[in-house]
Structure 1
Amino acid sequence: MGEMVDFPSNGQTGSGYLATPASGRGPGVIVIQEWWGLVPHIRDVSDRFALAGFVALAPDLFHGRTTREPDEAGKLLMELQLDRAGRDMLGAARWLASNERTAGDRVGIVGFCMGGALALYAASLSDVFAAVVPFYPYFGVTAAARPDLTKIRGAVLGHFATEDGAYSPDQVSAVERQLRDAGVDVEFVWYQGADHAFFNDARPEVYKPEASQRAWDQTVSFLRKHLAATPAPV
């Protein structure tokens, strides 16, 4: 269903996995990886978005490197250059928004773990994002950059797990309050008994089918609502 494509990235070239619906056209969604890289699970998520009618692009933020080992994944995360990742995400989003297969002038962005925090970060950099969906974001990846989340100009739907040690309820509440005070349309959903990465069906030790399906259904509905008509804000 999908293919690898290249896109401009602020004077350089980025690449990513593009999945297109059977109709050939639909709302655009950027899919941001976990710390494992552009692995089959992220490609599968992109394919699922295509089956739901979206044009999905997952930029390869690790530039060809992937792993299944947590220690190596941690090294890849530490080596990630946030400014380059930002350029890659914005380059992917602008390429997708202007692509003839994409309906609307703006796109959505969905990210998992590391990618959840990066999705919020990217949305603070550009108004090309009409909808933002972070799954159990690891805020540590963007902490040094101190992203100004009040600049987000899209609606936000966050998915959080009660057993996740990557963040505290107080930390999540502070982020939600910051967004709400800035006038952002925001909803954070908690999944009781779920742990970090509960959506990842390639990791049976943490995968929670019921929570995963509920989060998926909410995400698809949210994206359809906010990407139905996406003129750029004035």
Structure 2
Amino acid sequence: MGEMVTFPANGGTCSGYLAKPASGSGKGVVVIQEWWGLNDNIKGIADRFAAEGFVALAPDLYHGVVTKEPDEAGKLLMALNIQRAEADLKGAVAYLKEMTGGPVGTVGFCMGGALSLFAACNSDGDVGACVDFYGGHPAVKYNWDNLTAPVLGIWAEHDDFVNPNIPTYKAELEKRNIPHEFITYPGTQHAFFNDEQPEPQYNPAAAKDAWEKTLAWFRKYL
């Protein structure tokens, strides 16, 4: 359904996977990769957004590198240049905003969940809604005072990597009266939305409900 495109970013260009609905237009959503890279799973999620009427762009934050090995994925996550990622995400948001004519949404998974919230905190109002699927990255710091987008947080019950941060996120959002909703799915593990992972890590029922809530969030706020 989609195609690879390039867009201005960081004084140069960044590539990404762009998927459009059959109508050719719609609200824009930036889909942000897990630590594996811009793989077929993330492209498939962009395609799913397009099938629901959104214009979806998944930027390639690893610039061509994709892995299936957890050890390598962990190294790639830790080696991510946060300043460059910020610039690439700003470029993706600006590209989609110009294409669609309005504020865009951000959504990401695992590392990408952290970067979805990070992008919303650095968008100067260009991000109109944010969804964070169990996001975490030890080097990402949030500019909470710059956040204006409503935030939907989707969490797994059993996730020692991410869950200790949730009370801080909630306190920062409440302090600034940012509309938000946090949902923790009972019995789930980190990355429960990823259907390329075996069950029980992948949880079809929770993934289905989280997808429906994500679509509703973007349709409400974009």
- TM-score relative to the length of structure 2: 0.96
**Structure-2 residue corresponding to 1:131:** 129
Do the aligned residues in 2 keep the contact of 1:6 with 1:15 (CA within 8 Å)?
yes
Distance in structure 1 (CA, Å) of the matches to 2:163 and 2:10: 35
**1:78 offset after TM fit, Å?**
1.6
Do the aligned residues in 2 keep the contact of 1:30 with 1:57 (CA within 8 Å)?
yes
Deviation string 1:1-59 (CA, Å, 9 cap, x unpaired) is 10000000031100100000011110000000000000000000000000010000000
**Is 1:85 the equivalent of 2:52?**
no
Q: 2:102 aligns with which of 101, 105, 109?
A: 105
Q: 1:116 aligns with which of 98, 113, 118?
A: 113
Distance in structure 1 (CA, Å) of the matches to 2:86 and 2:163: 25
Distance in structure 1 (CA, Å) of the matches to 2:142 and 2:67: 28
**Structure-1 residue corresponding to 2:71:** 71
Give the percent of matched residue pairs that are identical in Structure 1 and Structure 2: 51
Aligned-partner residue type, residue 38 of structure 1: L
Matches within 5 A, 1:30-69: 30-69=30-69
Q: Does the residue aligned with 1:83 lie in a helix, a strand or coil?
A: helix
Do the aligned residues in 1 keep the contact of 2:114 with 2:135 (CA within 8 Å)?
yes
Structure 2 spans left out of the alignment, 5+ residues: none
Aligned-partner residue type, residue 129 of structure 1: V
**Is 1:162 the equivalent of 2:160?**
no
**Is 1:220 the equivalent of 2:215?**
yes
Q: Does the residue aligned with 2:17 lie in a helix, a strand or coil?
A: strand
Aligned-partner residue type, residue 125 of structure 1: N
Q: 1:189 aligns with which of 161, 183, 187?
A: 183
Q: Does the residue aligned with 2:24 lie in a helix, a strand or coil?
A: coil
Deviation string 1:86-143 (CA, Å, 9 cap, x unpaired) is 00011011011001xx2x421000000000111111111111100000000114241x
Distance in structure 2 (CA, Å) of the matches to 1:116 and 1:59: 14
RMSD (Å), alpha carbons: 1.0
Distance in structure 1 (CA, Å) of the matches to 2:158 and 2:35: 19
Q: Does the residue aligned with 1:137 lie in a helix, a strand or coil?
A: coil
Aligned-partner residue type, residue 104 of structure 2: V
Do the aligned residues in 2 keep the contact of 1:150 with 1:179 (CA within 8 Å)?
no
Do the aligned residues in 1 keep the contact of 2:10 with 2:84 (CA within 8 Å)?
no
**Is 1:180 the equivalent of 2:174?**
yes
Distance in structure 1 (CA, Å) of the matches to 2:191 and 2:102: 31
Q: Does the residue aligned with 2:188 lie in a helix, a strand or coil?
A: coil
Do the aligned residues in 2 keep the contact of 1:118 with 1:141 (CA within 8 Å)?
no
Q: Does the residue aligned with 2:108 lie in a helix, a strand or coil?
A: strand
Distance in structure 2 (CA, Å) of the matches to 1:115 and 1:23: 28
Equivalent residue pairs, number: 220
**Is 1:203 the equivalent of 2:197?**
yes
Distance in structure 2 (CA, Å) of the matches to 1:136 and 1:219: 13
